[in-house]
Structure 1
Amino acid sequence: MIEVIAAIARWFQLVANLVLLGSCVFLAITNTGKRIYTAAWIEKLERFFPWLAASIPLGLFIILTTTIVQITGNINSLWQQEVWLGIVSDTQVGQIWVWRVAAAMLLLAAVIYLRKTPKARWRYILCAASATLPLIASSLASHTAAEELSVTAIMLYALHLVFAGVWFGALPAFLLLIYENHKYDKNKQGNDLEFETLKRFSSIALPVMLLIILTGIIVGDHIFADYYAALVATPYGWMLCAKIFLLGIILLIAIRVRSYLPLLANNQQIAEGNRNRLSMRKWVRVEFFLALILVMLATLITNTTPVKHALIDNWPFSFRFSIAATWNQPYVAAQVWIGLAILVLAVGILKLGQSLKWGLKRLVGIPVILFVSGLAIALPPLTIQAYPETYRRPLVPFDAISVANGATLYAEHCVECHGPQGKGNGIKSRTLSTKLPDLLTEPHTTEHTPGDFYNWLTYGMVNTDMPGYAEKLSDEDRWDLVNFIHALSRGYQARILSPEIIPNKAYVKPPVFSYIGHDGSSGALQDFREHEAVLLIIFSWPQSKDRIEQLKAAYSRFNEQNTAVLAVPTKDLSPDELAQIAQELPFPVITQSAAEIVSSYSLSRRTLSHPDIIGRGTIPDHMEFLIDRYGYLRARWIPSIDQSGWSDIDRLSQQISLLNREKNKIPFPEDYVR
């Protein structure tokens, strides 16, 4: 019941806000010239403004009360002042609520001022500008802001709301104008004024709707982040699909309404004019009703688990779309482009039909047939086989322990066929009936999901020699193998790294890890995110003795540059060796999880000049990795390959300075492979 009340309150205050914005924009655009009869409908519309403005803070108050009940689980907490103060002052939700209420009260003041001032267009512009403030404040509570609290992300969502208000909020004013004009149907000047008013608004309605769609696509792409399968497999996606479907119907109705405007201008017969006006009013009422449902869906979506955190345990289809896995196959690109050309033709036919004043069935039917035909041609070549586990979230995170265990399992169960480095050249590969894929150098892991690999490891692959391991390996072990396969591929992709970073290019996602140092310190790689860059040293003893001394002497410099240093030995150290290394060492030598870190990070040892894809490969004695404050691997130095490189501390310090100067805020790497 609480959820229902909260949803209604969110919907009601949003509708009130949008109607205020759209109505004021409508009045600002259309209130020009002398009016004989329009003062009546404007006055009626303005009477609702104070009620609409007052309902916004009222709705926000109800939202906060329901939030408190949901958080505390006790309705009696509503009578406790300290609970209210705690929510408002100590939580992000409460602080955003304060900003929203402040913006709503400012809007209420603007509306009251508008009602008491002489009639002038600037009043509506002021009121419309004030009506955008609660919408901008509400965008702080959106899924977009939750994922990335940045000006760009928030403003895109806010613009989406503002443009929606300009369109949706104008519909009541649109209806009221048509209704009031019906009383003056004998006045030809009234008809002319009505036509000019509606025409003026219609001229901006189309670009506004296009901006709604554009900002919606950008915001949706940010939220889905290449996880578009959630559109048809999660509650969030289902509601968004319903919203898009409703929007499509509304666009068709808008086209129908727009077709009446020339008829209003050319009417000479009163009876015919009344019929056209009544038909237009009927369709606008339907459009407004559907828009109310669309806004309700939008409010429900904002309170639904976002797609990045939604789980798809069982993909419902036996296929999925993948450009990466199909585009380079014969004839795929040509077929897709032909299908897209037919889709463009459908849009062209629709515009042609409008200009030729086709009937509704013909105007809609022909473009729909072409649209469906275009999809039927373009989509099939992009399909590949899918499984119930295709979009299943991995059971274990992409961390060093999982990758290291996967490497051990790979050596035990997979190396004889797939080869020591996943090249498909194991000792049994020539005896198999099918050619094995190259898991290292080819984009096999990017063309298939982790869930695909999990399915193959569990049940095997049909019509191949690949067996299933459901009886031999636990779920965790199979996911560890999936993580190792992805680490293997990512490690090869990291060959483009060098001792010099590429500014503002963060794409290599290393395995995370937890650690315990010789000095008792402990933590995880994720702990440094947003705070410090990390210089990860993988060293051998005593071969790396001079380098450790050099880093020790330069540590204060790293500290000033807000960079942590972690040292990881390539093999277990004896107590004497550890004591010798750690003497007056200002940074920790990792003693727990060291073997797993070395095993997983050594997969990123390859460089463009030394691809190291022959045989089992060799792990260098010393490697250094520079990880930025968002968790991405940005640079790497291998002394045996890169020669001098970071042996000059000034050069290393320069790279850290470049990282520190980067201003772009980017999302953290996912904790699970995708």
Structure 2
Amino acid sequence: MSQTFLRFFEALPTALAVGLLLLPLLSEENGARFKPAIALCGVLRAVLGFGLIVLIARAIIPADVPLSFDGLVTFSTSTSVGRAWVATEIVALLFALATLLRLRVDSGVFDKATLGLGGLVLALTSVTGHAIDDSFRWWQQASFLLHTAAGLTWLGGLIGLVWWMFTGRGKSPEVAAKLSERWSNVAKVAIVIVVISGIVMAWENVGSFANLLATPYGRLLTIKLALFCASMLAALALALYLNRRPADKFDFDWYGRVGLAEAVAAAGLVFIAGWIAVITPASHETDLYWPLPFRLSWSATWGYVGAKLPWIDVANWYLAPAWSAVVAVVCAALAAFFWWAPRLRPWRRFSTPGALLLSALFVGSSFATVAYTDTYNDPAVDYTAMSVVRGQKHFNANCVACHGVSGEGNGELASGLKDLKGLPVTPADLTAPHVGNHTIGDIFHWLSYGGTSGVMPGFKETLDPDDRWDVINFLLMMSYSNRARFIGAQPMVQWLIAPDFQLVDPEDKITTFYGLRGTPTLLSFARCNAPEVDEHALEASLAIADETAKAAGANHVTVYQGGCPASLMARAPTNPQAVERAYSIINRYPNEKPSDEIAEAHYLIDRSGYLRARYRHFEDGAGQAAQLSAAIAQLAREPFIIVSLHSH
């Protein structure tokens, strides 16, 4: 928090100095009366900058290592944040020197040069925060500079304008109006820059709408947005006054008070900005806490329940989101009626907005589904074949009695399950696509604390968090198994993420399956010692897979067991048994009994890591090699998308 306060009090003087430098250019009057204040602000900024590097170093250097002058010098010259501070402080010192020289020098050109230096100091305010993250592209880093420069210029100019209004009551109304209108134009440009750059920054640092409420960074950003809206309401009031004021009058006191309210909201906004500059961005946060008992979701409401339930269902009619939509339409129609009905016009300013608000609430409720504190929690265990196998082991030990070995809800105890009211409860079919309608955090919550019906127990005391995440990774694979029966040779849409696994690489360059992304990959499975296997046909099939993958420029990973020819092997996993067991979950075919072993299968993975096609066996002269080659060429032309391994 000390860094937050210092960043705020470091930025505020420079913003005020820039605002006071800008005012004489807008009002076309002598700004000599502002020179001492500008110089004081410039010097104060330079002095506070030295305190900032101490706090930054203390936050990064281990607490058991004492700070010394030599240590600060080393930190400032050998770290990226230290070098950024040095550059910023040099500019701040030059700005302070310029503001002091202005006390003796009276030059319009020098004033503009000082204003430019001040603007540069404002822009560089962000470089000791998230802006120096080298994972950002240049335009993302530039958005930080533009955001701080425009935002602090707006704040400083606004404070200067309020100062002018409270001390300029003797000025003519026309001078005040001219200054206000010119400042309004400058502020509009600054706000446009703030909004556009803010969207760019939020896109990278927040990541999703849920993170606005589920993370400390997001909640602070939400408060920042609320303060921004408050300041914009005050700005709107000022703009309306300028458009409607009498030609020969100007209310200095009212304009100054409303401007002060806008400035206070803007100052709070800047304080929050300094706070979020020193905490973990929402997109990098791993411990997410959702504060609401509901969330909005298309897939879990209209996309699932709305498609399954009819408009009138005796038992569950209230679940159909269509009913909320009907009420929303009725409320919208009432709003129109209240507005146009002659007898109701005296009340339409209140009744119409009220009906529209009610309509919006019902529209939102049609997308609402139950949420928990864990709903948006990020997995603590990577989505890998090893994790899936571990999860399957825990599932077999704790869940098959109800959900069944295959997860279809047909376990030995399934028929006798009842809730607290004595009503029969059917275990969920975990192979159905509906599992993907729930967030990973929802599933983690149910595994930890039990199901909503009260029948499924919680496993918080039985399985540690990593074990529960392993079970979730297995459940995700199992939820794919139903649709996976129909994967064929023609590339399908992107929906199935291929689990990661470790690769054998003597050169230690590409050690994971994930590391092969960027180029299509053929993942081949075979058991050359399987019962009733035709060894010659199998070897011919593996040879076609090997030759076609090489000719098409695709990566090739082989999970071969049982004495397959070494000449046909390519990259191999470090644990082939685990990889086979994990991928066997989705190696399903219609009307065939599932197996933990894969006699032969060839999966085509696209550049982004999605499993797109499957080939069961290759035969000479059947055209399958040409089909595989064409599919590889098609996937190679598709754009590369960086996705989370837990996308589903």
TM-score calculated relative to the size of structure 2? 0.74
Residue 567 of structure 1: SS of its match in structure 2?
Answer: strand
Deviations 1:102-154 (A, max 9, x none): 6656767887999968437x974x66665555555555555577495123433
Q: Are 1:178 and 2:132 an aligned pair?
A: no
Aligned to 2:12: 15
Q: Could you tell me which of 231, 237, 248 is aligned with 2:229? A: 248
Residue 622 of structure 1: SS of its match in structure 2?
Answer: strand
Aligned to 1:352: none
Deviations 1:525-578 (A, max 9, x none): 2783789886644344366645666787799989xx7x8654323x4x4xxx37
Determine if contact 1:538/1:598 at 8 Å carries over to the other structure. yes
| Aligned equivalents of 2:16, 2:510: Cα separation in 1 | 52
Residue 398 of structure 1: SS of its match in structure 2?
Answer: coil
How do residues 419-458 of structure 1 correspond to structure 2 at under 5 angstroms?
Answer: 422=407, 424=409, 433-434=424-425, 437-442=428-433, 444-458=434-448
* Amino acid of the structure 1 residue aligned with 2:443: F
How do residues 474-553 of structure 1 correspond to structure 2 at under 5 angstroms?
Answer: 475-489=465-479, 509-516=497-504, 524-525=511-512, 528=515, 536-541=523-528, 545-546=539-540
Determine if contact 1:342/1:374 at 8 Å carries over to the other structure. no
Question: Structure 1 residues 52-61 or 101-110, which shifts more?
Answer: 101-110
Q: Could you tell me which of 65, 69, 73 is aligned with 2:58? A: 69
**Number of residue pairs matched by the alignment:** 604
Determine if contact 1:20/1:49 at 8 Å carries over to the other structure. yes
Q: What is the Cα deviation at residue 309 of structure 1? A: 4.2
Residue 324 of structure 1: SS of its match in structure 2?
Answer: coil
Aligned to 2:644: 669
Determine if contact 2:13/2:42 at 8 Å carries over to the other structure. yes
Question: Structure 1 residues 315-324 or 163-172, which shifts more?
Answer: 315-324
Aligned to 1:621: 600
* Amino acid of the structure 1 residue aligned with 2:601: H
Deviations 1:60-84 (A, max 9, x none): 4432232223333367443226x63
How do residues 310-389 of structure 1 correspond to structure 2 at under 5 angstroms?
Answer: 310=285, 312=287, 315-327=290-302, 328=306, 329-334=321-326, 373=358, 376-389=361-374
| Aligned equivalents of 1:141, 1:494: Cα separation in 2 | 49
Residue 514 of structure 1: SS of its match in structure 2?
Answer: coil
| Aligned equivalents of 1:416, 1:80: Cα separation in 2 | 66
| Aligned equivalents of 2:151, 2:612: Cα separation in 1 | 45
Q: Could you tell me which of 245, 250, 254 is aligned with 1:279? A: 254
Residue 176 of structure 1: SS of its match in structure 2?
Answer: helix
* Amino acid of the structure 1 residue aligned with 2:583: Y
Q: Percent identity?
A: 19
Q: Are 1:399 and 2:384 an aligned pair?
A: yes
Determine if contact 2:500/2:514 at 8 Å carries over to the other structure. no
Q: What is the Cα deviation at residue 195 of structure 1? A: 0.7
How do residues 171-320 of structure 1 correspond to structure 2 at under 5 angstroms?
Answer: 171-184=158-171, 190-203=172-185, 205-206=187-188, 208-209=190-191, 212-213=194-195, 215-217=197-199, 219-226=201-208, 228=210, 230-261=211-242, 265-267=246-248, 276-310=251-285, 312=287, 315-320=290-295
| Aligned equivalents of 1:656, 1:101: Cα separation in 2 | 50
| Aligned equivalents of 2:138, 2:196: Cα separation in 1 | 18
* Amino acid of the structure 2 residue aligned with 1:568: V
Residue 182 of structure 1: SS of its match in structure 2?
Answer: coil
Change (3 A) 1:313 1:13: closer
| Aligned equivalents of 1:22, 1:342: Cα separation in 2 | 49
Deviations 1:418-462 (A, max 9, x none): 5665555668767763455554453x2343222322333344434
TM-score calculated relative to the size of structure 1? 0.71
* Amino acid of the structure 2 residue aligned with 1:513: F
How do residues 634-653 of structure 1 correspond to structure 2 at under 5 angstroms?
Answer: 635-640=612-617, 644=623
Determine if contact 2:527/2:598 at 8 Å carries over to the other structure. no
How do residues 40-79 of structure 1 correspond to structure 2 at under 5 angstroms?
Answer: 42-45=31-34, 48-49=37-38, 52-53=41-42, 56=45, 58-72=47-61, 73=63, 76-79=66-69
Q: Are 1:94 and 2:77 an aligned pair?
A: no
Aligned to 1:567: 558
Question: Structure 1 residues 127-136 or 508-517, which shifts more?
Answer: 127-136
Q: What is the Cα deviation at residue 483 of structure 1? A: 1.4
* Runs of at least 5 residues in structure 1 that lack an aligned partner in the other structure: 185-189, 349-361
Change (3 A) 1:86 1:217: closer
Determine if contact 1:110/1:127 at 8 Å carries over to the other structure. yes
Change (3 A) 1:531 1:294: same
Q: What is the Cα deviation at residue 407 of structure 1? A: 2.9
* Amino acid of the structure 2 residue aligned with 1:589: A
| Aligned equivalents of 2:97, 2:335: Cα separation in 1 | 49
Change (3 A) 1:530 1:639: closer
Structure ranking higher in helix proportion: 1
Determine if contact 2:296/2:369 at 8 Å carries over to the other structure. yes
Question: Structure 1 residues 412-421 or 149-158, which shifts more?
Answer: 412-421
Residue 183 of structure 1: SS of its match in structure 2?
Answer: coil
Residue 457 of structure 1: SS of its match in structure 2?
Answer: helix
Change (3 A) 1:454 1:210: same
Change (3 A) 1:377 1:23: farther
Deviations 1:302-324 (A, max 9, x none): 21233244455765544334343
Q: What is the Cα deviation at residue 10 of structure 1? A: 1.8
| Aligned equivalents of 1:340, 1:75: Cα separation in 2 | 65
Q: What is the Cα deviation at residue 192 of structure 1? A: 0.9
Change (3 A) 1:292 1:470: closer
Change (3 A) 1:644 1:403: farther
Change (3 A) 1:419 1:653: same
Question: Structure 1 residues 484-493 or 110-119, which shifts more?
Answer: 110-119
Q: What is the Cα deviation at residue 203 of structure 1? A: 4.5
| Aligned equivalents of 2:219, 2:373: Cα separation in 1 | 18
Change (3 A) 1:251 1:196: same
| Aligned equivalents of 1:614, 1:67: Cα separation in 2 | 63
Change (3 A) 1:656 1:468: closer
Change (3 A) 1:554 1:486: closer
